[in-house]
Structures are given as structure tokens and as C-alpha cells.
Structure 1
Amino acid sequence: MASQQTVVRRLASYALIYKVRIMAALLVLCCAVGAELGGPYIAKTIIDKHISSVQLPWYEAKEYPALAQTMKAVELNGLIYYRSDWLHADSSEARQQAIRSGWKEVRFMQLESGMYLINTAQDFDGNWSVQPATAAELSGAAPESSQVTVQVIRKGAAAELYPARKLSSSEVASLYQYEVGPVLGWLGVFIALLVIASTLHYIQAYTLQSTALRIIQRMRMDLMRHIQKIPLRFFDNTPIGQVVSRVANDTEAIRDLFMSFMATFVVSTINVVGIYVALFLLNVQLALVTLILIPLFIAVMWVHLKFSKGYIAIMRARLSDMNAMISESIAVMPIIQAFRQEKARLKEFEVLNEDRYRSNQKQLRVFSLSSRNFTGLVGSLFTAGTIWYFGGQSLQTAISFGVFYAFIDYLGRFFQPIIGIFDQLTNAQRAVVSAEKVFYILDLEGVELENAIGLARPEGHVAFDNVTFAYKEGEPVLRNITFEAKKGETVALVGHTGSGKSSIMNLLLGFYEPSGGEIRIDGRSIAGISKQALRKHMGIVLQDPFLFAGDIKFNVGLYNEAIDERKVKQALADVGAAGFIEKLPKGYDEPVVERGSTLSAGQRQLISFARALAFDPSILILDEATASIDSETEGLIQQALQVVSEGRTTFVIAHRLSTIRDADLILVLNHGEIVERGNHEQLMELQGRYYRMYQLQKGGDNNKHETAHNQPTSTTS
């Protein structure tokens, strides 16, 4: 298997195909995050600049009421009050004169349940609180009905008492009369940013996820295209279910990587970066403190990845094994039920399922401990510590309340993307493991499919010259095979199971390469011919006919534009299939389910013959094609073959020797070697292996005939 770094690079190479769309989505995402993160900063501005600004220093004016006509001012009980920031914002001569006049500084403070005016204190630092008012504490002065006593405690000093007046609701509203408009404006900006952020998030999510689907679509096509190039040796030793799992399940897991993890990781990373930018803009010292969280979470993620990877690999392997077992069980269900193996197969499946369950449980424990629980705990502790630290001192002397509010808001937002990354780590690991399996298939050596259009039709002269072949090195199944089949001849291969008959045909079709010797067609070695060109003018009929899902016409023509409906019907008529097809409800358009299970074995074989004949091959291969056909159907096929084999080189692999009596050449194989050769009469004269095989089959057929003849006939009374 490739290393994780290599896998990640190859996954990135697929993503780079759509780099323009991804970069556009990321740019939109940055804008969306920026709009989203503007909310706390707007709240901070509203709090500090407009809501908390009432507690800035104010100046009580008695001598210059005309100044109120040229700048902002608030009138309470006949007195004019100017806020310090209003004065500093005005550079006129009137402002300079007001500052030089030494106006008295006053404060409006929010204490407990109301707003209070304090105009007698010289210093306004410290912690203020409301105290019961008494005449003695006010130096004998009788307090007004709206006055109370306020107490201030300063560091290292005794408590001080000052008179204060509680403002009415209308007076409080007067203090904020100039802030309502700006606050509403900022709220409008905030709502606009929310709408913009939502719209941009939709655009980036749709773009990223549609791009992810495109990536997986391309990867599936690459995988399916490459599977068809892989030599048959790979499929000899690989369960079909595992290959299906690569195309279906593993690519789906990779899709989750691009759709979920990539989007979450990118969104979270941009969010974290944006939050840190905002934190540094708010307060550098606070932002520096939060930097310790990054290495902490990176360390926890590393531990999470280290321990959970092994469990995820086992889970994916068991899923592949389960798919292979399911595929095999469905394919051989009649055998399983006939030999009562249901419980045994179920027990085997249960072992795989239990192993996957246990690995999943272990992975969930790692995930539960290192994801939300840890992140939530750290986030809560850090937030609580921040509140405790600043709660123990005056916010106005440490940081402003707006900064404190924005900091807590950003801090809460900081842990959300971290949790999002943790939640997607499992998908990412599952995708990497699946990608390793997919790339393993893609890295298998394959044979490129070449265009066979325009290639000349071969005469069909086939020669095997001292050919040797082995599926496994050191265990040859064919030894020094030499024979010649001239144009139009019929060559039959006979022998016991495993003698090498099908292996010879597999070599002729180019499914395997010989270990030694040479195979020639029309005098040209097939080693230098593309596989598509080699098979373009070959037809093959197997012992177990395979029909595709579709209709009967499709199963004969198979997308070949040169085979029209007329040729399809002619081919079916030549093999004697027209009779039963025309009796079907939809005739030639009758639907065929997977593997043609609604048709009999003989009917499927006739359609398979018609398929081979419709392609008009110069070389026809019949691999035990009559083994599963009844005598009546066999007679139809023999009649059709006499017509279609004329002018074609035909190879017949048969156990039923009666079907090859008219062959021009019969090769008798034994343990991968040709031990006898000749036509039927010549081999019978030799009285060797072929003679004994023929006599044995003939005797068995005669016995069957006699047994059937001697069966009592039932009568009815």
C-alpha cells in the first residue's frame, strides 16, 4: 500500500483538476467568514461607542448655553451637559473656550437598577455602589426625594460617600438621544452581513460539494476504466465482492472526504484564522494567551489519528470481506441451500461482522474521549478562567465591556470549528484507508485499450508453435503445444478436466501471455497485436452463457452499430432461437433480467450463439457450449453451426465427443500436453485415449437408451 503522504498527494491531484472552482469557492468562503465574524465586532462597537459611552466623562455647562446650538448637548433640569468625546471631536474656538473655562466634570453611572448623576466627586475611579441616604452622612443637608448616597471603594483607601441623583426614564432617554440612529445603523449593517454570509455560505457549499461529486465521478470512471485493462490473473485470485467494494463503497468514503472533511476543514481553518485576526485587533495580550490552545488541540488530534487508524483499517477490510461473502453467497445460493450450508455461512458472516463491530466500538471510544468532550471541557475552562480573571477587577480599568463581550463571543466561536474538525477526522481516516485500496487497484499494471476500427479482417489461419504456459510460476499447465488450424477448419480440443483445453483458448484470446513459444494468426504473432484488434474478429460462446440486463435484441447486438435489427433476427434464426423468442409476450423486445434467469439454460445458450454469430467472426470459439443443452436444442445448434462455420476457423472444446465427429482436427490433451491428434476416424483407428473416451461415452449413452426403453409404460383404466 502507498504511504499516507502519497495517498494525500494523489487525492490532491484529483482536486487540482478543478482548482479554479475550488479557489473560487474558497474566496467566497473567506468573504462569508469575514461577514460572519463582523458580528461581534459590530456588537463591541455598539456597546463601547454608543451604549457604554454614557459613562464617559460629562461636563456641566452654566455659562455657555449658546454652545449647545453648534454641537451635541443634553439638557437636564435646566443645565446643559456635554460629553467629553463630543468636545474633543469639535475643534472650534467655542470648544477651546469651554475647556479653558474649567467646567465641572460629572458622571452618569449605571448602578444596580438605575442611572445616577454624580456631580460632587473629584475622582471617579474605583467600585461604586448605592447606599441608603441619611442626613448625617450628607453633612446635615436634607437629600432631595430623587437623591441617594453612593459609595466608592478605592484601592488602599477608606470608603467614600457622595450624594447622587437617580435619573428618570425620560432623562435616560435624553442621554441616548444621539445614539439611537447610529445603533440602528449598525444593526442594519449586522443584519445585512448575516444575509450576505448566509448567501455566500450557500454558494461556497454548493460549489465545493458539486466539485467533490465531480472528483468522485472522475475517480470512479478512472477506476472502472482501469479495471477493464487489468489482466485476468488479478481476477483469478481476487473475490468479485472486493472489487465491487472498491468501486462502490471506497469511492463513496472518498466522496465524504471531499464533501465533508474538506469543506469542514477549510471552513474551520478560515474561521480560526479570522477569529485570531479579530482577537488581535481587539486585544493583543488576550489573543496571545489563546495561542496556547492551538498546539494543545494539534497534539490531541495526533493522538486521535494514531490510535484510530488501525481500527478504521480493520473496519474497512472486514466490510470488504463481508461484501465478498455476500456476493459469493448470492451467486451460489442454490448450492448453499442444496447442501444445507445456511447456518455455516451465517456463522462465517457473523465472525466478520463481530470483528468489525468490535473495531468500531474501539474507534468510537477514542473519538468520544478526544473530540467533543475534550474540546468542550477545555473551552469551558478557558472561558470560565477569562470571566473569573476580568470579573475580579474593573472592566473599565482593564478592558472595555465591549471588548470583553466580543472576546467571549469570539472565544465561543473558536471552539466550534475545532469540534467540527474532530467530528470529521473519522471520515478523513476512513477516506484515506479507502483511497489506499482504490489507488492499489489503479496502480495494477493494465493493458491500454487500443482502437480497433479499420483493421483488416484476418483470414483465420491460427498456429501454436511450441507454446508453454503457467498460471503460477513453476507450475506449467501447457507444455510444448504445437498445432495449426487453417482457414475454415474446425479444431476440437478434448481431454480430462484440467488438461489445458480452456487455457489454450485463453491464450488465443489474449487473456494471458504464454510463458514460452509463439501464437500466430495469419503468420503474425499476436504478441504484437492490440487486444482489441485481436478480439475484434473473434466470437466466443462459453459453457455458462451470460446475458446482460436489457432485452433480447440488445444481448445479441451489444451496442454494435453494424448489427441492426435485421441482422439480430437473422442470427437468432440461424441458431434456431427464433421459434421460442417469437412466442414470448414481447418477442425480440422481451426484457432479460440479470444473467437471464427467466430463460432456460438452452434458451440462454442459443442467444449466446446468436450473439457470436451476429458479430460475423473469422475465428469462432465454442468452450463446451453444448454441455448444458438438451438433445433437441443441440440438434438445432449443430445445424446452425454447419452453416455459420463455413469459411471460419472454429475451435470447439467439448466433453461430448459425439458433437465433434466432423471436426477437421481433434487434439487430445493430457496434463497440458497433446498426446494424440487427427480426425475422428484416424483417432479411432489408433485405439488410444480418444478411442477409450469415445467408447466409454458411447456405452453410457447406449445404457441410458436401454434403461429408458425398458421402463414400464403406465396405463390408465
Structure 2
Amino acid sequence: MARNKYDIDETLEAGFDFGQLKRLAKYVGPYKKDMIKAIVIMLVSSALSMLTPRFFMTIMDDYIPNKNITGIVFLSLLTMVIAIFICVSLKVKIILTNRVGQNVIHALRRDLFVHLQELPFSYYDDRPHGKIQVRVVNYVNNLSDLLSNGIVNTITDLCSLLFIIVFMLTINVKLALVCMCGIPILAVLIWTVKKKQRRAWQIESNKQSNLNAYIAESLNGIRVTQSFVREETNQNIFNQLSSDYKSAWMNAVRYNMMLSPIVDTISVLTTSMIYVLGINWMLGGEGNITAGVLIAFTGYISRFWNPITTLASFYNSLLTSISYLERIFETIDEPVTVKDREDAVDMPPIQGEVEFKEVDFAYDDGIKRLDKVSFKVKKGESYAIVGPTGAGKTTIINLLSRFYNISSGEITIDGIDINGVTIRSLRKQMGVMLQDSFIFSGSIMDNIRYGNREASDEEVIVAAKTVCAHDFIMEMEQGYDTQVNERGSRLSQGQRQLISFARALLANPKILILDEATSSIDTETEMMLQEGLLKLLKGRTSFIIAHRLSTIKNADCILYIDQGQIKEMGNHDELMEKKGEYYNLYLSQYSFLAS
């Protein structure tokens, strides 16, 4: 998936391979019994429906001239029984195919979502989330008709077409050939528009993706939009994206709509030819053509072009689905760059000694964010990381949690290279509170319990009390059972951070990482929190990133990071005595606070 924003179209890194349809077929494989049942039922009903025109021919040419009332009644009743059977068969087919289709869609969406869960932070860093979401929801949903009806209908219609041709040939070869003379013309027209049609649907999927990306971005930033009175500007952007999508959709549909009138026109022309030539041959005594034969052919010719129309519709649906399918499989094929090695083992119970050895790191842009970073943390020590914005502070803790792969060097915990252990076993023993205090929709209790699903209610409450969140939670209408919205919009930023803090504490990690954990907490709450922090940090190796230096004065060691390098290292008193970068930073902040 190409990196872009909402106003830049995506480009496929590889052209579509029809072999991917085989890949889609693997999702259908587990439900082949239902598919076979539906196909058999439809084939039987299709074969029986072919008898009706034959019955009419028999009635016209034999039973009516011979006044065979019994035969007429019998064939009429038999026709009615066949009609009832076809209706029941259609109902059963709809149930079976929709069940198969929805099961396949569920499996496809599940695999897509599971893979998205495994992709590293780097995948999401500069990709609009709306363009990712549209693949999981809209694109997968657009495959529904293809999977629920297209496959079965195509197989049964192909067989029905074969049945019809056989029946027509057994009645009259000349009329059968007249009926089929339009197929080559249709085939040439389909082949002519194929490439343009696929390209049109690719453009449509791009515009749909752009629109979805902008909607997601706008909803996430609605407070900023209203604060800066950007509603009219955003509306103009939305209208332009929506207009682009409408134009792309109309263009794509134009190609789809071409086939149906073409098929209808060819059908009308061949039907007219059947009547003109058939009547002439009948009047001239050629070809053994009777009124019953013409009536039978009239019934068959409509049946002949119906499956062709359905097949043309399936072809349209296939080309439409291909434009979505290639995007879905492109996402599923996105490599998981941060993953377990084949020889990875579970991380033993962590004691807490951490060491960075000559660690280098650069993002995809190639610019170094860390340059030969080395330090060692003993078990139970607290290390604070400070420095200017963009210095590499958050990068250090992201590498320790293996959210990214290091470029070179080594990171060890208790002497074990973290690249050699499974990611799950590593992260389960670490508690991370990132700058973005994300709150999920649900109760406050569930949000705190997110990192430890087996924790009791009492343990949740103890964690909340430790981080000074208990009082404000109890003031809410339902206490810990209060439902909060997605991203915690009902809570203040400080309240969201305290809940996230309790969540990290409840996980009972051996290594605790706090990234700006107190940045949105007022000074009074922070003073209350300090006692809880001391209890929390006791016996745990901890890394604390903070711009508010008053929160890290008691750290065992402070690392001053700038331009990806450790410029100074020591405790607060030692660094103040050096009167270097940390000293200047502290004084500038202290003077600001004092003023």
C-alpha cells in the first residue's frame, strides 16, 4: 500500500494476477459441501426447466391436433410441479450460497484484521487509517455478491447454457445455429472493453479510499476543526473528494452497463431472425419446422440469452471485485518486518537488567534517529530520558518494546538479546504507557483491566487508588461501571492518563515504561501521585520520559538525549553540578515555573 494522504491516489505495487482467484477459492474450500449441494440443486432445476418448451411443442404439434386432453392436463400438471420444485430449489440455493458467502467474507476479514494486528508501528506511521479501514469493511463487503451468488450462478448458468444448446440442437440444428450466431460478436465486445473496465474500477476504489480517509481524519480532528472555524473549508474538501468519487463510480458503472443492452440487442436480433427465417422455412417446407418447433425455440431463445446475461453480469462483478480483491491481498501480503525469528524462544521471567550496546536506528527515510547509543540499567533502577523534541527519547523505549527493529547494535534484558525471544513473551512482562492515552469504548473497569484480563475488581480498584484515579471515578454516575466513549471523549486528558496509568500498573510489569505519563496531570494531582509512583517503581526497572523535570528528580539516572546521542548521563545532582545541557534545561524550566 503506497504511502500517501487523503488527496493522493494509491498505486498498486504489482499488477493483478488471476492466480489470486485461486487464493480466494481456498477460502471457499471449507464450505465446498454446501457449494456442491447448491450447484446440484440448481442443475437439477435447470434441467427440469428445459422440459417446459418441449412440453409446449408436444402439445402444439401432437396433443392439440389429436385432441389428447389427458396428455394436455398431465403435461400442465407436470409443468406446475416443476415450477414449484424450481421455486423451492431457488430458496434452498439462496440459503446455502449466502451462508457460504458470509462465512468466506468473515474468514477473509478475520485474516485481514489479524494481519493488521501483527504489522509494526512503521506500517501505520504515515498511512491514513481511513484507507486501511476501507479495506477491512467496504472492500470485503463488495465481494459479498461474488461469493454468495456469482460462483454458483456461473457454474449453473454454464451448465444451463449447455442443456439449452443440446435441447435446441435435438429439435432443429439450423435454428439452433441462428440462435448462437450472436455469441462471437458479444465475445469481441467484452474483450475490447475488459482493460478499460478494470482500470475504471481501480480508479473508483482509489477515490472511495480517499473519501474514507478524509472522513476518518475529519472525525478524529473535529474539536480542532470547530476551534479554528474550519468547517466551511473542510466541507469544500469533502465535496471535492465526494465529487471525484461520484465521477469515478459513474465512469466505472458506464462500462458495466454497456454489456446488458448489448446482450439484449443481440437477443432481440437473433429472436427476430428465428421468426423471419423460421416462418420462411416453415412456409417453404424446409427443415421440418412446425408451429410447435417455433414456439419451443421462442421459449429456448429467452432461456439461452438469460444465462449469457447472467454470465456477463458475473464478468462485470468479477472485474469489479478484482479491483477490491487486489487491494485486500496487497494488505495481507504486507510483510511483517517486526516478528519472531524462527529460532525465537520465550523470554524467561525478567529480572530487570537492561543494556543498550552501540544501538543505531533509522526510519524508512534513512535518517538516523539513534547513533551508537549505549547504557546499562541495573535491576530495579529508574532511568529518566530527557531532551528536546525529536531527540530520540520515544525511539529508545519503542526499540526496547520491539515496536521497531534496530538498524545495528544489540539490546539485551538480563543478558538475553531481545531479538532472539518471542515478542509476546517479551511485551507481556513489560508495562507501557505511551503519550497517547488511548481509551477504548466500554466501562472504566474494562479499560483498566485491558492489560490483565484476569485481574479481579478489587485489584483494579487498588491500582486506581495507587495512581489517584479512584476519587474521580467514584464521582461518575456509575463509578467503575461508567461507560466511556471511543478515545475517552467524556474524560479529561488528565483523567485519561490516570486510567492508562492504572492499566499499566495492573499488568504488574517487571519493566515499566512511562512516556510523558504525567504531562496532562495538574500540579496538585501530580504531588498526590508521587507517593503512588514511588510504590509503583519500587523493585521495578523503569524508564521515564518527561518534559516536566520535577517528576524525574528522584530517578537513579537521567539520560540527556540530543540528535540521537547521549550527551549527558547521571543523577539530578550530578548533572546540575556539570552545568551542561541538563542544567540549562532545568534552569529554563524552573525560571518559567517560578515566573
TM-score range normalised by the length of the shorter chain = over 0.9
**Structure showing the higher helix proportion among its residues:** 2
Letter in 1 for 2:498: L
1:259 matched to 2:140: no
- Are the counterparts in 1 of residues 105 and 140 from structure 2 also a CA contact under 8 Å? yes
Deviation at 1:670, TM superposition (A): 0.7
- Are the counterparts in 2 of residues 279 and 407 from structure 1 also a CA contact under 8 Å? yes
Could you tell me which of 434, 440, 449 is aligned with 2:330? 440
Deviation at 1:404, TM superposition (A): 1.6
| Paired position in structure 2 for 1:407 | 297
Deviation at 1:455, TM superposition (A): 5.8
Could you tell me which of 533, 536, 541 is aligned with 1:644? 536
Deviates more, 1:290-299 or 1:233-242: 290-299
- Are the counterparts in 1 of residues 131 and 212 from structure 2 also a CA contact under 8 Å? yes
| Paired position in structure 2 for 1:528 | 420
Could you tell me which of 328, 331, 336 is aligned with 2:220? 331
Deviating beyond 4 angstroms after TM superposition, the runs of 4 or more aligned structure 1 residues are 447-450, 452-455
- Are the counterparts in 2 of residues 492 and 651 from structure 1 also a CA contact under 8 Å? yes
Q: TM-score, normalised by structure 1?
A: 0.78
- Are the counterparts in 2 of residues 304 and 367 from structure 1 also a CA contact under 8 Å? no
Could you tell me which of 123, 135, 158 is aligned with 1:246? 135
| Paired position in structure 2 for 1:184 | 73
Deviation at 1:315, TM superposition (A): 0.8
1:669 matched to 2:564: no
| Paired position in structure 2 for 1:115 | none
Letter in 1 for 2:54: Y
Rg (Cα) greater in structure: 1
Deviation at 1:453, TM superposition (A): 12
| Paired position in structure 1 for 2:359 | 467
| Residues 249-289 of structure 1 deviation map (CA, whole Å, 9 limit, x = unaligned) | 11011222212433442343232222112112222232233
| Residues 155-201 of structure 1 deviation map (CA, whole Å, 9 limit, x = unaligned) | xxxxxxxxxxxxxxxxxxxxx2xx11121111111111111111112
Say if 1:233 and 1:677 are closer, same or farther in 2 by CA, change over 3 A: same
1:199 matched to 2:88: yes
Classify the secondary structure of the residue corresponding to 2:412: strand
| Paired position in structure 2 for 1:418 | 308
| Paired position in structure 1 for 2:438 | 546
- Are the counterparts in 1 of residues 358 and 409 from structure 2 also a CA contact under 8 Å? yes
Could you tell me which of 273, 283, 298 is aligned with 1:385? 273
In 2: Cα distance, 1:591 partner to 1:547 partner = 11
| Residues 533-564 of structure 1 deviation map (CA, whole Å, 9 limit, x = unaligned) | 11011111122311111101111112744311
| Residues 590-648 of structure 1 deviation map (CA, whole Å, 9 limit, x = unaligned) | 11111111111111111111111111000111001111111122123222111111100
Deviation at 1:2, TM superposition (A): 4.5
Classify the secondary structure of the residue corresponding to 2:561: strand
Say if 1:25 and 1:627 are closer, same or farther in 2 by CA, change over 3 A: same
Letter in 1 for 2:259: S
Structure 2 unaligned runs (5+)? 1-13
In 2: Cα distance, 1:392 partner to 1:645 partner = 100
| Paired position in structure 1 for 2:481 | 589
Classify the secondary structure of the residue corresponding to 2:403: coil
- Are the counterparts in 1 of residues 178 and 270 from structure 2 also a CA contact under 8 Å? no
| Residues 661-693 of structure 1 deviation map (CA, whole Å, 9 limit, x = unaligned) | 000010001110000000000000000000000
- Are the counterparts in 2 of residues 25 and 204 from structure 1 also a CA contact under 8 Å? yes
- Are the counterparts in 1 of residues 385 and 558 from structure 2 also a CA contact under 8 Å? yes
In 2: Cα distance, 1:462 partner to 1:234 partner = 27
Could you tell me which of 22, 25, 29 is aligned with 1:9? 22
Deviates more, 1:9-18 or 1:421-430: 421-430
1:609 matched to 2:497: no
Letter in 2 for 1:608: S
- Are the counterparts in 1 of residues 451 and 504 from structure 2 also a CA contact under 8 Å? no
Deviates more, 1:339-348 or 1:323-332: 339-348
CA RMSD of aligned residues (A): 2.0
| Paired position in structure 2 for 1:691 | 583
| Paired position in structure 1 for 2:521 | 629
| Residues 82-140 of structure 1 deviation map (CA, whole Å, 9 limit, x = unaligned) | xxxxxxxxxxxxxxxxxxxxxxxxxxxxxxxxxxxxxxxxxxxxxxxxxxxxxxxxxxx
Structure 1 unaligned runs (5+)? 55-175, 704-717
| Residues 505-537 of structure 1 deviation map (CA, whole Å, 9 limit, x = unaligned) | 110000001101100001000000111011011
Q: TM-score, normalised by structure 2?
A: 0.93
Classify the secondary structure of the residue corresponding to 2:404: coil
Classify the secondary structure of the residue corresponding to 1:394: helix
1:363 matched to 2:252: yes
Deviation at 1:345, TM superposition (A): 2.6
| Paired position in structure 2 for 1:349 | 238
1:557 matched to 2:446: no
- Are the counterparts in 1 of residues 359 and 370 from structure 2 also a CA contact under 8 Å? yes
| Paired position in structure 2 for 1:489 | 381
Deviation at 1:299, TM superposition (A): 2.0
Deviation at 1:305, TM superposition (A): 2.3
Aligned pairs, number: 578
**Structure showing the higher strand proportion among its residues:** 1
| Paired position in structure 1 for 2:61 | 48
Classify the secondary structure of the residue corresponding to 2:363: strand
Could you tell me which of 24, 29, 35 is aligned with 2:48? 35
- Are the counterparts in 2 of residues 626 and 634 from structure 1 also a CA contact under 8 Å? yes
In 2: Cα distance, 1:468 partner to 1:262 partner = 52
Deviation at 1:20, TM superposition (A): 2.4
Deviation at 1:364, TM superposition (A): 3.3
Q: Percentage identity across aligned positions? A: 34
| Residues 385-412 of structure 1 deviation map (CA, whole Å, 9 limit, x = unaligned) | 1111222343676312222211111001
Deviation at 1:21, TM superposition (A): 2.0
Deviates more, 1:463-472 or 1:388-397: 388-397
| Paired position in structure 2 for 1:166 | none
| Paired position in structure 2 for 1:511 | 403
In 2: Cα distance, 1:352 partner to 1:433 partner = 19
| Paired position in structure 1 for 2:320 | 430
Classify the secondary structure of the residue corresponding to 1:676: strand
Deviation at 1:498, TM superposition (A): 0.2
- Are the counterparts in 2 of residues 260 and 424 from structure 1 also a CA contact under 8 Å? no
Higher relative contact order (CA 8 A, sep 6+): 2
- Are the counterparts in 2 of residues 606 and 637 from structure 1 also a CA contact under 8 Å? no
Deviation at 1:495, TM superposition (A): 0.3
- Are the counterparts in 2 of residues 35 and 196 from structure 1 also a CA contact under 8 Å? no
Alignment of 1:78-97 (within 5 A): none
Alignment of 1:56-205 (within 5 A): 176=67, 179-205=68-94
In 2: Cα distance, 1:698 partner to 1:354 partner = 54
Deviates more, 1:634-643 or 1:390-399: 390-399
Could you tell me which of 185, 205, 222 is aligned with 1:296? 185
| Paired position in structure 1 for 2:39 | 26
| Paired position in structure 2 for 1:373 | 261
- Are the counterparts in 1 of residues 282 and 290 from structure 2 also a CA contact under 8 Å? no
Classify the secondary structure of the residue corresponding to 2:143: helix
Deviates more, 1:638-647 or 1:37-46: 37-46
- Are the counterparts in 2 of residues 468 and 517 from structure 1 also a CA contact under 8 Å? yes
| Paired position in structure 2 for 1:653 | 545
